[in-house]
């Protein structure tokens, strides 16, 4: 549609028909203040802050409810308008407590800002303020009624955006109050969106309240370490006795694909970092007991033992199990370390999705993967299996709001009545006995729907019509869970040649672990061990495929596997293995906590978590994002450094492992003084072009260079990546090899409130689980 022209403050501006005046103004840099207006939520017209003068209208008009018109003449700032805004603030402050010095929002409060911009310096109000006591609605949500300015953002975000509808408005007039769904408490998804969206300190977080003043924090926008969706979370950090403590998680940095969204884990699930059981010094088993040791002692011992086994029994006597929560750089480095230094292909990780099959099916299909951003835009979505509301909260949010805001059509095929059926155009409930895979089989053929496939009112007619629709719908996005593996993945992709696909994996860097080749028979980029690739040439790889986790266990029992290096993984706990099976092998475990696996190790190394390091994560869609160091707990080390130090202790030439020391000659400049800015800008430019000096072998950016060069699909814009954007990696040029004996794919089965080991050590998550009386999974996974 052609743009309309209108005049705002004497300036001619253009905006598409249907644009709200407040948005049209914002787009040209004219700020119209508001409390209740919030993009993508329903209009309220309640706060009256956005009043502007529209010519030919007798009264001031609310810019948030006025649609632009051709030739409209608008004044956004005048004495009358400023007076109107000033009086709104005055009236609001009438009953608003002035407890700003202790209010969590003090210093980052929209009412404070508005008062500063428009409010009066004098106070006319002399009456007693209405008061109500503060209430705790859930372990993480507190409500301070007098501070509420009734903008209804919380009510709308909870209902419209989250489809939870746990908040309402009760009473009327000045007694109006936001109310939770269970009278005195909330029963909800505990996402905390209501808290983040609150313009004042009415809704506060149980995890953060009264902890610090906002200006005492530094804010770091990084990627959430919980599920595989890759939300950006802004961590507020503060100096503590042991380094930098994370005191808050929120999404004030709305630059991620999650924009306004964060779930409970992204918002509150950072406190495992400071759990009392966190390991902060290496442990070495002496006389059967794990005893504190120095890092140097640990490296020396590991280096000696690993080299000894390799040189005596060969690389095949050593196993490596990687992590789904370490960075790409760490996984890549681990993969490389195993092959080059340990000379073994016994490499594996906990797979929660069949990415090798996925990559193989997408070979030479350049446009067939979708990013998380696409989920919000696709005109039609097919969701097979999984329960995104629980397991992929952002994905669920994107789908839900795509349906709400863009009227996207959603087709859900699931064996359970998952919550997203509420947004579905068609919900086909299928048999619990591998119904999702059976549906894919049915979809890929032309036979009538088999009788036992449809459940709970899903007739064969419904299924056949759905098949017909799916085949004809354009721009279809297909999202599938771990119910679809192996041949089903191939069939699905072949059945819908017009579609784009997302394969759901469960952990923050599950996709990265797969892409970086933590497989016994695949290298980074899904290149077969037995095949050829530039990687083979650069690395020099042992010839025969290695063992998957389960076989490493058998080999250890048979005393064929003599050393095992476990990085950020808990196979004993996850696979419920007999811990004595590893008793003969030299076991090194790197983790944050003394997991079931760490407890039986010979050496335990205290690892930093993803919030304490730099690198990149690839989310389940293949979107590559930068992970930035926010917190810091002294005594721990990033897995990256630990791997490098072990290689060094084994006497390996580090330059062959890490391509550091390259790049241009760097002007390190001054960090202070008149010229400092100049030098900083120079450094930023270098970094953006992948030319950073990389002076240290501990700089993960050096490995990122190699990943970008050698892993197909990762040759994305470094500039965009470093600017904090997500870059979609493609799977059409990978090695496309699939494992000959694929290991099991075990979904994490985390709920909205659990997150494997991280969740076990998160007080915030546990308090919510207790409040909801939900039993966490019997065996916590990684």
Where on the chain is the footprint of other proteins (CB under 8 A)? 43-48, 51, 58-60, 65, 83-84, 87-88, 90-92, 94-95, 124-128, 130, 149-150, 165-176, 179-181, 183
Shortest distance, position 404 Cβ to other proteins, whole Å: 18
Decide: 166 and 143 in contact? Cβ < 8 Å.
no
Shortest distance, position 663 Cβ to other proteins, whole Å: 57
Which residue's CB is nearer to other proteins, number 169 or number 723? 169
Measured at the alpha carbon of residue 111, what is the angle toward residues 223 and 67, in degrees to the nearest 5? Answer: 85
Shortest distance, position 153 Cβ to other proteins, whole Å: 14
Which residue's CB is nearer to other proteins, number 193 or number 731? 193
Shortest distance, position 41 Cβ to other proteins, whole Å: 13
- Residue 99 CB coordination number (10 Å): 12
**DSSP code at position 700:** H
The encoded tokens of residue 254 equal 């709305």
Measured at the alpha carbon of residue 252, what is the angle toward residues 247 and 253, in degrees to the nearest 5? Answer: 110
The encoded tokens of residue 438 equal 């059976």
Which residue's CB is nearer to other proteins, number 29 or number 58? 58
For residues 182 and 194, give the distance between their C-alpha atoms in angstroms, rounded to a whole number: 16
Which residue's CB is nearer to other proteins, number 170 or number 696? 170
Which residue's CB is nearer to other proteins, number 81 or number 410? 81
For residues 446 and 656, give the distance between their C-alpha atoms in angstroms, rounded to a whole number: 55
- Residue 658 CB coordination number (10 Å): 24
Q: Give the residue among 577, 760, 641, 522 at the shortest CA–CA distance from 564.
A: 577
Shortest distance, position 695 Cβ to other proteins, whole Å: 57
Measured at the alpha carbon of residue 484, what is the angle toward residues 479 and 490, in degrees to the nearest 5? Answer: 90
Which residue's CB is nearer to other proteins, number 92 or number 293? 92
Shortest distance, position 50 Cβ to other proteins, whole Å: 11
Which residue's CB is nearer to other proteins, number 89 or number 353? 89
Shortest distance, position 32 Cβ to other proteins, whole Å: 15
Positive or negative CA dihedral for 160, 162, 165, 170? negative
Which residue's CB is nearer to other proteins, number 37 or number 411? 37
Q: If residue 83 lies in a helix (H) or strand (E), which one and from where to where?
A: helix 79-95
Q: Give the residue among 536, 596, 592, 591 at the shortest CA–CA distance from 565.
A: 591
Q: Judging by DSSP bridges, how do beta strands 218-223 and 232-240 pair with one another?
A: antiparallel
Shortest distance, position 183 Cβ to other proteins, whole Å: 8
Which residue's CB is nearer to other proteins, number 111 or number 430? 111
Shortest distance, position 65 Cβ to other proteins, whole Å: 5
Decide: 142 and 168 in contact? Cβ < 8 Å.
no
Shortest distance, position 96 Cβ to other proteins, whole Å: 9
Shortest distance, position 708 Cβ to other proteins, whole Å: 51
If DSSP codes are grouped into helix, strand and coil, which group holds residue 196?
A: helix
Which residue's CB is nearer to other proteins, number 44 or number 488? 44
If DSSP codes are grouped into helix, strand and coil, which group holds residue 421?
A: helix
Q: Judging by DSSP bridges, how do beta strands 563-567 and 586-591 pair with one another?
A: parallel
Shortest distance, position 551 Cβ to other proteins, whole Å: 53
- Residue 192 CB coordination number (10 Å): 27
Which residue's CB is nearer to other proteins, number 45 or number 776? 45
Please compute, for residue 104, the number of CA atoms within 13 A of its CA located in the half-sphere on the CB side: 23
Which residue's CB is nearer to other proteins, number 65 or number 550? 65
First vs last C-alpha separation in the chain? 51
Decide: 238 and 216 in contact? Cβ < 8 Å.
yes
Q: Give the residue among 588, 679, 587 at the shortest CA–CA distance from 639.
A: 588
């Amino acid at each position: 549609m052609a743009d309309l022209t209108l005049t705002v403050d004497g300036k001619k501006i253009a905006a598409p028909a249907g644009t709200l005046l407040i948005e049209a103004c914002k787009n040209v840099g004219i700020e119209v203040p508001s409390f209740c207006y919030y993009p993508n939520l329903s209009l309220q017209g309640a706060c009256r802050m956005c009043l502007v003068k529209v010519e030919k209208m007798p009264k001031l008009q609310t810019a948030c409810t006025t649609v632009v018109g051709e030739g409209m003449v608008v004044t956004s700032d005048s004495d009358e308008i400023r007076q109107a805004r000033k009086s709104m603030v005055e009236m609001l402050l009438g009953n608003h407590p002035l407890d700003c010095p202790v209010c969590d929002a003090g210093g980052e409060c929209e009412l404070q800002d508005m008062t500063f911009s428009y409010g009066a310096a004098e106070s006319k109000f002399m009456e007693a303020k209405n008061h109500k006591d503060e209430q705790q609605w859930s372990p993480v949500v507190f409500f301070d009624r007098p501070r509420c300015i009734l903008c209804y953002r919380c009510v709308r975000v909870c209902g419209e955006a989250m489809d939870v509808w746990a908040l309402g408005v009760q009473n009327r007039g000045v007694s109006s109050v936001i109310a939770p769904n269970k009278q005195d408490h909330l029963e909800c998804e505990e996402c905390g969106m209501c808290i983040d969206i609150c313009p004042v300190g009415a809704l506060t977080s149980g995890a953060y309240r009264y902890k610090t003043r906002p200006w005492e924090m530094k804010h770091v926008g990084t990627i959430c370490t919980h599920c595989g969706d890759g939300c950006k979370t802004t961590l507020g950090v503060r100096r503590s006795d042991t380094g930098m403590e994370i005191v808050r998680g929120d999404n004030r940095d709305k630059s991620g694909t999650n924009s306004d969204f964060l779930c409970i884990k992204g918002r509150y699930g950072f406190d495992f970092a400071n759990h009392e059981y966190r390991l902060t010094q290496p442990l070495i088993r002496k006389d059967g007991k794990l005893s504190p040791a120095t890092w140097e002692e640990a490296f020396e011992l590991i280096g000696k033992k690993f080299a000894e086994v390799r040189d005596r029994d060969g690389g095949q006597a050593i196993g490596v199990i990687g992590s789904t929560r370490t960075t790409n750089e760490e996984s890549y480095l681990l993969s490389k370390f195993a092959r080059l230094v340990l000379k073994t292909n016994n490499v594996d990780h906990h797979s929660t999705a069949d990415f090798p099959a996925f990559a193989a099916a997408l070979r030479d299909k350049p446009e067939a993967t979708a990013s998380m951003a696409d989920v919000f835009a696709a005109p039609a979505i097919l969701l097979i299996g999984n329960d995104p509301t629980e397991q992929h909260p952002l994905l669920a949010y994107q789908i839900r709001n795509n349906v709400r805001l863009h009227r996207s059509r959603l087709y859900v095929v699931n064996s359970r009545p998952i919550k997203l059926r509420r947004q579905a155009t068609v919900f086909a409930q299928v048999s619990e006995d591998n119904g999702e895979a059976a549906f894919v089989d049915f979809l890929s053929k032309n036979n009538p729907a088999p009788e036992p496939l449809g459940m709970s009112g899903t007739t064969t007619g419904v299924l056949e019509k759905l098949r017909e629709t799916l085949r004809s719908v354009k721009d279809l996005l297909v999202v599938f869970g771990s119910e679809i593996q192996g041949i089903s993945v191939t069939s699905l992709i072949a059945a819908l040649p017009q579609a784009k696909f997302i394969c759901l994996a469960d952990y923050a860097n599950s996709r990265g672990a797969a892409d970086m080749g933590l497989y016994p028979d695949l290298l980074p980029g899904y290149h077969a061990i037995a095949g050829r690739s530039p990687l083979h040439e650069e690395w020099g790889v042992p010839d025969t495929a290695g063992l998957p986790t389960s076989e490493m266990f058998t080999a250890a029992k048979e005393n064929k596997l003599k050393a095992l290096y476990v990085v950020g993984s808990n196979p004993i706990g996850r696979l419920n293995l007999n811990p004595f099976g590893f008793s003969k092998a030299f076991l090194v475990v790197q983790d944050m906590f003394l997991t079931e696996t760490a407890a039986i190790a010979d050496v335990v190394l205290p690892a930093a978590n993803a919030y304490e390091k730099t690198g990149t994560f690839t989310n389940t869609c293949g979107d590559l994002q930068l992970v930035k160091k926010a917190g810091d707990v002294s005594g721990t080390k990033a897995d990256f450094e630990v791997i490098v130090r072990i290689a060094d202790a084994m006497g390996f030439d580090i330059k062959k492992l890490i391509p550091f020391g390259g790049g241009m000659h760097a002007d390190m400049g001054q960090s202070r003084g008149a010229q400092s800015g100049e030098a900083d800008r120079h450094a930023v430019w270098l970094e953006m072009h992948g030319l950073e000096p990389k002076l240290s072998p501990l700089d993960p950016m050096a490995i990122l260079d190699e990943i970008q060069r050698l892993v197909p699909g990762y040759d994305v814009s470094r500039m965009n990546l470093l600017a904090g954007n997500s870059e979609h990696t493609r799977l059409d040029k990978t090695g496309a090899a699939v494992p000959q004996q694929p290991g099991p794919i075990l979904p994490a089965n985390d709920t909205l409130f659990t997150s494997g080991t991280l969740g076990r050590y998160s007080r915030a998550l546990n308090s919510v689980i207790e409040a909801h009386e939900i039993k966490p999974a019997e065996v916590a996974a990684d």
